[in-house]
């Protein structure tokens, strides 16, 4: 365990609270880079389709979000040439 006291300070971004450590910590530009804009949607499919999607995700070792993004991007790319 660390003997250093834990401090809480203000982040450089929008006044968010964050932990302040003696070294390291958040830095501008650090972390995973975004791949686009996140929008929440609700999608209604049959139980059988959701089960198939979940099986595909498990087989491919990807998230539902990644799977559905791939399907949408593939569809969009395939239909782009028709415009």
Q: What CATH number is associated with residue 74?
A: 1.10.1220.10
Output the pLDDT for position 14. 64
**Domain contains 32:** no
Number of structural domains in the chain? 1
Q: Is the pLDDT of residue 79 over 70?
A: yes
Look up the domain containing 59 and give its range. 37-83
pTM, two decimals, is 0.58
User: How big, in percent rounded to 5, are the helix, strand and coil portions of the chain?
Assistant: 35, 10, 55
**Domain contains 42:** yes
Output the pLDDT for position 52. 97
Q: Is the pLDDT of residue 35 over 60?
A: yes
2-27 core/surface letters (b: 16 or more CB in 10 A; e: else): eeeeeeeeeeeeeeeeeeeeeeeeee
């Amino acid at each position: 365990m660390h003997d250093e006291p834990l401090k809480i300070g203000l982040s450089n971004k929008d006044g968010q609270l964050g932990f302040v450590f003696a070294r390291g910590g958040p830095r501008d530009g650090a972390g995973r880079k975004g791949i686009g804009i996140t929008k929440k949607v609700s999608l209604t499919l049959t139980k059988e389709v959701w089960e198939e999607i979940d099986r595909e995700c498990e087989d491919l070792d990807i998230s539902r979000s990644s799977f559905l993004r791939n399907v949408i991007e593939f569809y969009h790319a395939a239909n782009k040439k028709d415009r």
